[in-house]
């Protein structure tokens, strides 16, 4: 596939899990992919295994570090055409620490608008569409991401820049496996039982695969999705 040939994509949290799968999918579609994250070892692995072309070390909650990283990436491979905002965790939300000016710089909206092409995809969660017990703070941040996407999409609708979110259910990532392990250590139940409880409301009865999320992101980043903006694409096996 060469649908994204010549496009420069930045994937935050791109060294593992959903981010890594997204980086690989975008690379496979011809994009030059820069992955951003904190772990140099896994970032280098992504390059070595052909899932990305370059990496930037930065913590997404550090606006200055992210800004410097984006500047380096753009200097190396050109302006960023595609941003996949994947980095995050169960206890914090990167967007919460960025004021509007930092947010604008982060997404390089001026550059995207000037080029009449841009794809921004935020990796949210089904927790951005419904509530879950015991994770109220996490759910609140994901609802905020979805709201932000919908609002920004309206502002950029006529510019060639699209803004969307994907909302996966529980996905087979390190974060979910670590959560299951924590539940197991607190309750004495096997980790597999904790995972089974997570997918209880998923008609598929299993964790979502990272590559399944990546394929949805790839579509939203493609030229074919030029009329798709302000949407939330749910990958949750029928849970929503």
Active-site residue numbers? 138
Q: Residue 121 and residue 75: Cα distance in Å, rounded?
A: 22
Angle (CA) 104-108-109 rounded to 5° is: 70
**3-class DSSP assignment, residue 10:** strand
164 closest CA partner among 123, 128, 223: 123
HSE-CB for 3 with a 13 A CA cutoff: 15
- Rounded Cα gap, residues 119 and 90, in angstroms: 25
Neighbouring-strand partners of residue 121? 84, 164
Say how far apart CA 228 and CA 164 lie, in whole Å.
8
């Amino acid at each position: 596939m060469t649908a994204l040939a010549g496009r420069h994509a930045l994937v935050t949290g791109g060294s593992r899990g959903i981010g890594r799968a997204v980086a690989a999918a975008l690379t496979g579609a011809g994009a030059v992919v820069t992955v951003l994250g904190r772990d140099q070892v896994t970032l280098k692995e992504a390059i070595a295994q052909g899932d990305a072309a370059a990496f930037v070390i930065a913590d997404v909650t550090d606006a200055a570090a992210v800004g410097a990283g984006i500047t380096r990436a753009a200097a190396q491979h050109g302006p960023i055409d595609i941003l996949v905002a994947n980095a995050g965790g169960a206890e914090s939300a990167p967007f919460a620490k960025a004021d509007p000016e930092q947010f604008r710089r982060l997404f390089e909206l001026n550059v995207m608008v000037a080029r009449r092409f841009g794809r921004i995809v935020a990796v949210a969660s089904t927790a951005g569409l419904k509530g879950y017990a015991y994770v109220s703070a996490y759910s609140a941040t994901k609802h905020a991401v979805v709201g932000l996407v919908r609002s920004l999409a309206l502002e950029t609708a006529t510019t060639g820049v699209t803004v969307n979110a994907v909302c996966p259910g529980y996905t087979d990532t390190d974060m979910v496996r670590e959560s299951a392990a924590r539940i197991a250590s607190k309750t004495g139940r096997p980790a597999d039982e904790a995972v089974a409880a997570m997918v209880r409301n998923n008609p598929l009865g299993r964790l979502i695969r990272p590559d399944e999320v990546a394929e949805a992101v790839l579509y939203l980043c493609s030229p074919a999705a030029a009329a798709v903006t302000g949407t939330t694409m749910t990958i949750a096996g029928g849970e929503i």
